[in-house]
Amino acid sequence: MTSRSVYHFNSIIAREPARSVVDGLRAQYRGSPSYAGVKAEHDAYLAAMRAAGVEATVLPALEAFPDSIFVEDPALVFTEGAVVLRPGAATRVRETEEIAPTLRDLFDTVLDLPTGYADGGDVLTTQESVMIGLSARTDRAGAEALQACLDELGRKSKIVETPEGVLHFKTDCSLLDEETVLSTNRLARSGVFQNFRQMLIPEGEEAAANALRVNEVVMVGADFPRTIEMLDKAGYKVVALKTTEIGKIDAGLSCMSLRWFSRGKGG
């Protein structure tokens, strides 16, 4: 596995938000998002992705599935192939049936998680391994089944703990480069990133941890000025994107795409 596969991407899958997105799942009430607001944030996200150098496959909205804009949870994708997951929220389970045909069109190898539950939001791909966070949405049976799938794809993995009360592992962290993670203090204290250089989120901006490195840029929620300043001073090329509306339904930047490097597209 080369460093290219960690954050160098030329392909993504995304899905248009449905009007039902206003009914998306949330762990705590922060006000309801507006469809127009979510659509505007999603459009800006796709524009930033294309500017970063990826080709986007954008799937149509699914009104029956309010959270289906968040394509990262029902599947995982890598250069070597894809895994159809088993989402841990009952209302999201059948999203896999909707995205699987696209995966089978785009990948030669598509595996199905055979048992347990696992959300893509609990999975962080690093140079060292694929980290699978146990959470309310990813149980140990699902994590172990996912490890077997990853092994079949030739990917090393390890299971880690997500702090109590955190929805997804990647709610509290993201990869900045091969050696560096952006993390909340509560996740850093768990010791899961002891082999990495860690940049800690300023107090009060914890939601900024779900940033997204794509090629030469780091996408960060625009509502988090201290985090943006910290990353800018550290030499990262930051692209600030509004996440106010999607944040109301417990989402961040990684949630809205499946990202991989397709060898078929050159480079």
Element (H, E) at 160: strand 157-161
Q: Which among 42, 149, 168, 173 is annotated as catalytic?
A: 168
Q: Is residue 8 among the annotated active site residues?
A: no
Question: What is the dihedral angle through the alpha carbons of 94, 137, 153, 101, rounded to the nearest 10 degrees?
Answer: 10
The number of C-alpha atoms within 13 Å of 122 and in the hemisphere containing its C-beta is 31
Rounded CA separation 113/117 (Å): 8
Q: Which among 42, 149, 173, 255 is annotated as catalytic?
A: 255
Question: Order of strands across the sheet with 212-214?
Answer: 212-214, 217-221, 237-241
Residue pair 57/11 in contact (Cβ under 8 Å)? The answer is yes
Residue pair 18/66 in contact (Cβ under 8 Å)? The answer is yes
Q: Is residue 173 among the annotated active site residues?
A: no
**What is the b/e burial string over 33-53, where b = at least 16 CB atoms within 10 angstroms of the residue's CB?**
beeebbbebbeebbebbeebe
Nearest to 56 by CA among 254, 210, 258, 266: 258
Rounded CA separation 241/16 (Å): 17
Rounded CA separation 143/146 (Å): 5
Nearest to 204 by CA among 170, 181, 234, 227: 227
Catalogue the active-site residues: 168, 255
